[in-house]
Amino acid sequence: MNFNFDPNFVDNLYEFKKKAYKEHKLCSLFFEVTSRCNARCEHCGSSCGDFIPKDEITKEEMIGVLDDLAEHYDPTRIMLNITGGEPLVKKDLFEIMDHANKLGFPWGMTTNGFLVDEKVVKKMEETNMKTVSVSIDGPKELHESFRKVPGGWDKLVKGIKLMQKCPTIIDLQVTTCVNKKNIDLLEDIYQVILDLGVDDWRLIEVDPIGRAKGNDELLLDGNDYKRMLEFIFKKRKENPNIRFKYGCGHFLGNDLDIALMGQCYFCFTGYWAASVLSNGDVFGCPDIERRPELIQGNIRDRKFSDIWENEFKLYRKIDRTSNKKCKSCDDWKSCLGDAFHTWDWDENKPNFCVRELFKEDYDKRDALVEKYLKTMERLRKEEKAKKGVKNKKNKL
């Protein structure tokens, strides 16, 4: 095994998490600016487009939240993640983001990309948008049929090309929601990523929420998860020029998490991350099942800062996701019962458990990690050697 963890590593990590839960410093705020959408994706976790919302958060209300945040915290340290529905259907979005930028918030957006044109990119630049994540769930035909946007592909590709030229965007990421319909097409999607010249590709698995809940035609089984993880490993080895990411995701074991993500697994929700939903509800991350008991308040009744400081008690308990089985598990201190977004609230158990996924292979994962690290080391050496030759030539 290549990881020489300090013998106190797990205890230190556990103490660090306890402190983070207690201190609850907001670093990431998801703003679900609308639940309206120009697409009707089969997997949509927020079932967007199925209803016309009457209580959508207004420009003035959003500005009120931003002013409140800037008054109580350092805005330069809070990343605003604009999401939806489709954020670009909100008419006054860029007026709001202009205000956010002037207050000093860094900000980014998740978009389906179908509405991105020259005018929109100009506004992104003017309001200093820093990051964007564009969803691509398949090659052209599958993507269009999955998202129910016939003819949308060419607009999406044009939008990506325009955003690649936008000087304020420091990271353009493609996010693929891996599901039963595209798990066999990951190589084809990889080709799309290469053709587009995208260097940041995040794969997430479909969560059993919204329209995906109970849909066996979409939800992955254990074998699919393994194939997805192996695919990420394989591609990382093949092409170090692309940042292949997995997650937010799940606890996979500290060794595998460090190898795959470059860090240990954390579910940030409720102590580092929160969201304001499109009806003004204050919540954890938007992907968590929207149960009434998890809503912490509404910005129409109370200031966001008041809710953040005084609520979220359930989210800030170190054993917030625990049960008898998890508490007695060898990985408890690192995993803490896995992620909030896949917690089964009715059965009080995780819907995802790495030990159940790998079963008897769980302790053999070391071999996979070891193989991966060796290849990465070799690639790094080769890269260094190449650079050395280049520098020598330049000097001559």
Residues that bind ligand SAM (CB under 6 A): 37, 43-46, 83-84, 86, 110-112, 135, 175, 177, 204, 206-207, 209-210, 212
CA–CA distance, 77 with 106 (Å, rounded to integer): 8
Between residues 43 and 245, which has the closer beta carbon with respect to ligand SAM? 43
Between residues 40 and 140, which has the closer beta carbon with respect to ligand SF4? 40
Q: Based on the number of CB atoms within 10 Å of its own CB, is 363 exposed (0-12), middle (13-18) or buried (19 or more)?
A: exposed
Report the partner that residue 207 touches, choosing among ligand SF4, ligand SAM, none (CB closer than 5 to 8 A by kind). Answer: ligand SAM
CA–CA distance, 217 with 179 (Å, rounded to integer): 8
Report the partner that residue 297 touches, choosing among ligand SF4, ligand SAM, none (CB closer than 5 to 8 A by kind). Answer: none
| Residues near 333 by beta carbon (within 8 Å), at least 6 away in sequence | 10, 11, 13, 14
Q: What are the beta bridge partners of residue 205?
A: 178
Phi, psi of 38 (to 5 degrees): -90, 0
Report the partner that residue 66 touches, choosing among ligand SF4, ligand SAM, none (CB closer than 5 to 8 A by kind). Answer: none
Q: What CA–CA distances, in Å, run from 196 to 3, 67, 169, 200, 240?
A: 36, 38, 16, 11, 17
Between residues 263 and 310, which has the closer beta carbon with respect to ligand SF4? 263
User: Mind spelling out the 3-state secondary structure of 161-193?
Assistant: HHHHCCCCCCEEEEEEEECCCCHHHHHHHHHHH
- Please report how close the Cβ of residue 295 comes to ligand SF4 at its closest, in angstroms: 20
Report the partner that residue 148 touches, choosing among ligand SAM, ligand SF4, none (CB closer than 5 to 8 A by kind). Answer: none
Report the partner that residue 332 touches, choosing among ligand SAM, ligand SF4, none (CB closer than 5 to 8 A by kind). Answer: ligand SF4
Report the partner that residue 326 touches, choosing among ligand SF4, ligand SAM, none (CB closer than 5 to 8 A by kind). Answer: ligand SF4
Between residues 44 and 121, which has the closer beta carbon with respect to ligand SAM? 44
Between residues 44 and 160, which has the closer beta carbon with respect to ligand SAM? 44
Between residues 17 and 303, which has the closer beta carbon with respect to ligand SF4? 17
Q: Is 247 helix (H, G, I), strand (E, B) or coil?
A: coil
Between residues 76 and 348, which has the closer beta carbon with respect to ligand SF4? 348
End-to-end CA distance of the chain: 43
- Please report how close the Cβ of residue 99 comes to ligand SF4 at its closest, in angstroms: 24
Q: Give the rounded distance of the alpha carbon of 184 from its chain centre.
A: 22
| Tokens found for residue 67 | 């002013």
CA–CA distance, 329 with 325 (Å, rounded to integer): 6
CA–CA distance, 336 with 82 (Å, rounded to integer): 28
- Measured from each CB, the residue nearest to ligand SAM is 45
Q: Is 73 helix (H, G, I), strand (E, B) or coil?
A: coil
- Please report how close the Cβ of residue 329 comes to ligand SF4 at its closest, in angstroms: 3
- Please report how close the Cβ of residue 346 comes to ligand SAM at its closest, in angstroms: 18
Report the partner that residue 204 touches, choosing among ligand SAM, ligand SF4, none (CB closer than 5 to 8 A by kind). Answer: ligand SAM
Between residues 35 and 334, which has the closer beta carbon with respect to ligand SAM? 35
- Please report how close the Cβ of residue 35 comes to ligand SAM at its closest, in angstroms: 9
Binding site for ligand SF4 (CB under 6 A): 37, 39-41, 44, 46, 48-49, 84-86, 112, 147, 251, 325-326, 329, 331-332, 335, 337-338, 350, 353-355
Report the partner that residue 144 touches, choosing among ligand SAM, ligand SF4, none (CB closer than 5 to 8 A by kind). Answer: none
- Please report how close the Cβ of residue 339 comes to ligand SAM at its closest, in angstroms: 12
- Please report how close the Cβ of residue 123 comes to ligand SAM at its closest, in angstroms: 17
Contact 289, 345 (CB under 8 A): yes
Report the partner that residue 350 touches, choosing among ligand SF4, ligand SAM, none (CB closer than 5 to 8 A by kind). Answer: ligand SF4
Between residues 39 and 259, which has the closer beta carbon with respect to ligand SAM? 39
